[in-house]
Amino acid sequence: MLALAAASGLPLPSIARTSEAPSDPYSVPTVGNVHLMHITDVHAQLLPVHYREPAVNIGVHGARNRPPHLVGEALLKHFTIAPGSRTAHALSHLDYVAAAAQYGRVGGFSHIATLIKRLRADRPGALLLDGGDLWQGSATALWTKGQDMVDASQLLGVDIMTGHWEFTLGAERVMDILDNELKGQVEFIAHNVKDMDFGDAVFASHTLREMNGVPVAIIGQAFPYTPIANPAHFTPGWTFGIQERELQEKVNEVKAAGAQVVVLLSHNGADTDIKLASRLSGIDAILGGHTHDAIPRALEIANPGGVTLVTNAGSNGKFIGVLDFAVRGGRIRDWSYELLPVFAELLPPDPDMEALIAGIRAPFLTRLNEPLAQTDALLYRRGNFSGSMDQLICDALMEEMDAPIALSPGFRWGTTLLPGEIVTMEHLMSQVAITYPEVTLTEMTGARLKQVLEDVADNLFHPDPYYQQGGDMVRAGGLQYAIAPLASVGSRITDLSLNGEPIEADKTYKVAGWASIQKTQGEAIWDVVSRWLRREGQIGALTPNVPAVTGLANNLGLDEGC
Amino acid sequence: MNDTTKGRVSRRRLLNWAAALGALMTLPARAWATVSRPETAFDATALDQALMALGQTPTRHEGVIFTTPDIAENGAVVPIRVEVDQTVLPNVSKVSVLVEMNPNPLAAVFDIAPGTEVYIETRVKVAQTGNLYAVVESDGQLFMASRETKVTLGGCGG
């Protein structure tokens, strides 16, 4: 890889760092004259949280056993990170409960603000980029229609952003925020969102900024499958897509306009970014998000034009990516990338941000703090097939809706609770705060159930990342099945059963679900789950219902012990 | 938002007008006479039958530039684009679009007048995940490009 980079134009990274931090883990030596700080997929988490990284993040075909599809010990080994260290806790699920207790919570906007200020102090002109999924994911973000995050990100000093879940606030609200609140402060860019009729751009495609004398172009790439993965009625008349060819034209255009550094701020997801980087020329770095992968080093991807760096900066405010370039005589001579975990206890809170957050929360405190139950179990979501939190939601759905089967979406956001914690309304909302929360009860045939599982499995395991959507597998309550990720579409799912009885193709089953992308009626998911939690009072051990995974040998994205 | 919407509507109306005028006034009578609908190809219910009815098995060629979405946002109206590099495929007389998994795979045939630059954008219905084909007749030979478009139930993203 290093030889490749040297041969094809992009220089070697400046510092061959060891993964273990020096005494001050946030003292990051500054390189060069172009500085970009990157946060992504914050999902509106203003306060510090726990967020358990996945034990199951399977890579198939070209993505097999390479970042980001390495979990646990395989991941630590690949990046030479000491087991048991702070960094190991940030990047893996290993010994999660003990390590979380030892190292404390991560993220939180007042701690992020302190770190951003420190980084900026050594980096004149540095830009703060947000990769999207900033305005959604918490109670206060939902209840204020994203206003809390708009205010907090302005105070944080976000310069440029792109989007995905932002669009689920509806096109009108998004445009209102951009036109009336963020104008002149935060530039929202997305080259791949167009008017359906005429192909006119909905947003600015890019921004060209001069930083310390160097013209730098940032191009925005919104989540390409927004109207497919989320309800299309939120963005009427807008069309998305990867738009690879248009992106290459845009890169050529900004280079012709004088850009000496070209960066794509992307919400594609890591595998799509890696493929894109291998096919396009002239992009120096893709700062990526969407798939919530915390990749500790920049991946160097070769392409016909040289090498493109690809990064992915995790989620929930847990990490800040810092990318420095040294540009002289119009060329990149040197670069450095660091993915910094934000440990709240190591960074004193910024008083201004702390005050703003307190003000945001004040009107809602009683609702936010309402205790619903106590958990004995570790409650987490992230993982390809299910998590204990999803099992909890499925259990609540099945009991409250009196259905033998529940289906719950494979979202990758949703924070983690440690055993012994009180589950509050705020915690619950961090799993379910969406603008289409209606719970549904439908009659589905066995054939239809299989089709749904096949369809979602293909969105996760299609051999070509351009055909994936970047969510995890739909979570199934009650329903048992086996999955062969490497099989072709339509034949991955087998052995469907319910309570030990095989699912019959023609028989009809009652299925509870939520987050339908069709307009629908129903009780909000938080009302259903909170009712169940209050009644339960104490949450005992929870074993996520996961499918039997077949046909994978030595896949390092699957920690069998978990 | 309202202003934008208004703008769109008036622009769409203008285009409708232009299209209507175009159809009424600018198409020479001679052109009508040469356009014939390939009924057998349109009636075919399988891809290979439809291709056969177009005359011959097309050869894959990079000069056919075919753009389709990887995943359809709405299977009922899937935007597609066909362009032809006429330096390598000159004298294009026809462009056909086929959708593998549709009940009748042949979706459209365009007759191209001599000297026309080939750039076609249209919408096709795609019943389910499968390949889409653009077939170009150049100097009497058939050439093609194909791309997979996925039609998904959606939901569950990220």
Domains of chain A: 38-53+93-354 (3.60.21.10), 366-549 (3.90.780.10)
Residue A28, min C-alpha distance to chain B (Å): 31
User: According to the model, what pLDDT value does residue A329 have?
Assistant: 96
Selected residues 209-238 of chain A with any CB under 8 Å from a CB in chain B: 223, 225-230, 232, 237
B128 touches chain A (CB under 8 A): no
Q: Is residue B42 part of a domain?
A: yes
Q: Which of residues 57-116 of B touch A (CB under 8 A)?
A: 67, 69-74, 79
The alpha carbon of residue A235 is apart from the nearest alpha carbon of chain B, in Å, by: 12
Give pTM, 2 decimals. Answer: 0.92
Residue B157 placed within a domain: no
Q: Is B152 an interface residue toward A (CB < 8 Å)?
A: yes
In a domain, B66, yes or no: yes
Q: Are A451 and B153 a contacting pair at CB < 8 A?
A: yes
Pair (B104, B141) in one structural domain: yes
pLDDT at residue B16 above 80? Answer: no
B125/B47 same-domain check: yes
Residue B86 included in any domain: yes
Instruction: Locate the DSSP E strands across A290-343.
Output: 299-303, 306-312, 319-328, 331-341
Chain A residues 421-460 within an 8 A CB cutoff of chain B: 451-452, 455-456, 458-459
Which two tokens mark A59? 């890579």
Residue indicated by tokens 């995890």: A472
A123 by Cβ neighbours in 10 Å (0-12 / 13-18 / 19+) ranks as buried
pLDDT of residue B35: 62
Q: Is A538 exposed, middle or buried (0-12, 13-18, 19+ CB in 10 A)?
A: exposed
The pLDDT profile of chain A, 562 residues, written as one tens digit per residue, is: 333 444 445 666 654 444 444 568 899 999 999 999 999 999 999 999 999 999 999 999 999 999 999 999 999 999 999 999 999 999 999 999 999 999 999 999 999 999 999 999 999 999 999 999 999 999 999 999 999 999 999 999 999 999 999 999 999 999 999 999 999 999 999 999 999 988 999 999 999 999 999 999 999 999 999 999 999 999 999 999 999 999 999 999 999 999 999 999 999 999 999 999 999 999 999 999 999 999 999 999 999 999 999 999 999 999 999 999 999 999 999 999 999 999 999 999 999 999 999 999 999 999 999 999 999 999 999 999 999 999 999 999 999 999 999 999 999 999 999 999 999 999 999 999 999 999 999 999 999 999 999 999 999 999 999 999 888 999 999 999 999 999 999 999 999 999 999 999 999 999 999 999 999 999 999 999 999 999 999 999 999 999 999 999 999 999 865 4
Whether B29 and B41 map to the same domain: the answer is no
* Same domain for B116 and B50: yes
* Shared domain check, B72 and B16: no
The answer to whether position B26 is within a domain reads yes
Cα–Cα distance, A506 to A484 (Å, whole number): 23
- Using an 8 Å CB-CB cutoff, list chain B residues near A409: 155-156
Interchain contact, A197 vs B12, CB within 8 Å: yes
Residue B154 lies in a domain: no
Task: Look up the CATH number of the domain holding residue B113.
Answer: 2.60.40.2470
Do B4 and B64 lie in one domain? The reply is: no
Assess whether B60 and B133 both reside in one domain: yes
Tell whether B16 lies on the interface with A, counting CB pairs under 8 A: no
Give B74→chain A minimum CA distance, Å.
8
Residues B57 and B82 in one domain: yes
| Contact between A197 and B8 using a beta-carbon 8 Å cutoff | yes
Q: Both tokens of residue A110?
A: 């007042």
How many folded domains does chain B comprise? 2
Contacts of B68 in chain A (CB under 8 A): none
Asked if B24 and B51 sit in the same domain, the reply is: no
Residue B22 within a domain: yes
For chain B, say whether A147 makes contact (Cβ under 8 Å).
no
Are the C-beta atoms of residues A546 and A460 closer than 8 Å to each other?
Answer: no
Q: Which domain holds residue B52?
A: 37-149
Inform me whether the pLDDT recorded for B33 exceeds 90: no
Closest Cβ opposite residue B70 in set A230, A466, A470: A466
Instruction: State whether A467 and B70 contact (CB < 8 Å).
Output: yes
Chain A, chain B: beta-carbon pairs less than 8 Å apart: 90
Do the chains contact at A412 and B69, CB–CB below 8 Å? no
Is A469 in CB contact (< 8 Å) with chain B?
Answer: yes
Asked if A181 contacts A226 with a C-beta cutoff of 8 angstroms, the reply is no
